[in-house]
Amino acid sequence: MDQEFWLARWQANQIGFHEGVPNALLVAHFAALGVPADGRVFVPLCGKSNDMLWLRAQGMRVVGAELSRLAVEQFFAELGLDPVVSPAGRLARFEAEHVTIFAGDIFDLDRAALGAVDAIYDRAALVALPEPMRARYAAHLVELTQAAPQLLITFEYDQTHHKGPPFSVEASEVAAHYDAGYRLDHAETRDVQGGLKGVCPAQESVWLMKRR
């Protein structure tokens, strides 16, 4: 998936991945990450996810990274907020009411711009990327955050039925990306209601990952 693919999806408002309510697996498992009150949570490839609002409602400060400036503008506009926008290297930093979103390519985001974070929440981020990009993404995430505790949600299904995204990411692949930096706890697997876009059965898994 190149950048044009995602930018076109936002332009055409083809955002079937966007959930109208906070993600049930986030709500069920976030407390187990043990993020301090007033913690700073990084949401990579955040879109305009309502999960950021749920995290903020838990008292968290939220920092996202999203390629599509349109998505970022929609996020703040739908909240009726007028964010402060400033340059951050090759990205633009949008900030209002305890939410900061870097608009641009996550691979252009560095540790200095991001700042320290207490946790990562990855929903539809790792699984949005094709296989060759996933290793680069995972390594970048670890470097950016110094392996901050992470709640990761993955999809598993028979990839021959659907070319993705989302892509199927098996437990062995999660371990390949993250085992060196994290202790991995496979917290839950549940069936996706209606399968993957009605095409085939699918499961979602929740990984709670703590720094080694």
Ligand X SMILES: C[S@@+](CC[C@H](N)C(=O)[O-])C[C@H]1O[C@@H](n2cnc3c(N)ncnc32)[C@H](O)[C@@H]1O
Instruction: By CB under 6 A, name the binding residues for ligand X.
Output: 6, 17-18, 45-47, 49, 65-68, 71, 105-107, 123-125, 128
- Cβ 34 to ligand X shortest distance, Å: 22
Q: What's the sign of the alpha-carbon dihedral 51, 52, 57, 62?
A: positive
Q: Which is nearer to ligand X, 164 or 195 (CB)?
A: 164
First to last CA, the chain: 31
Q: Which is nearer to ligand X, 37 or 113 (CB)?
A: 113
Q: Which is nearer to ligand X, 3 or 36 (CB)?
A: 3
54's tokens: 């749920």
Q: Which is nearer to ligand X, 47 or 181 (CB)?
A: 47
Q: Where are the beta strands (DSSP E) in 34-193?
A: 40-44, 61-66, 84-88, 91-96, 99-103, 119-123, 150-157, 182-191
For helices 131-145 and 171-178, the axis angle rounded to 10 degrees is: 40
Q: Which is nearer to ligand X, 13 or 172 (CB)?
A: 13
Closest chain position to ligand X (CB) = 47
Name residue, tokens 């990084």: 42
- Cβ 82 to ligand X shortest distance, Å: 22
- Cβ 19 to ligand X shortest distance, Å: 6
Q: Which is nearer to ligand X, 68 or 154 (CB)?
A: 68
CA-closest candidate to residue 149, choices 101, 117, 111: 117
- Cβ 24 to ligand X shortest distance, Å: 12
- Cβ 20 to ligand X shortest distance, Å: 10
- Cβ 79 to ligand X shortest distance, Å: 15
- Measured distance CA(28)–CA(212) in Å, rounded: 24
- Measured distance CA(190)–CA(69) in Å, rounded: 33
Are the C-beta atoms of 93 and 102 separated by less than 8 Å? yes
Amino acid at 46: C
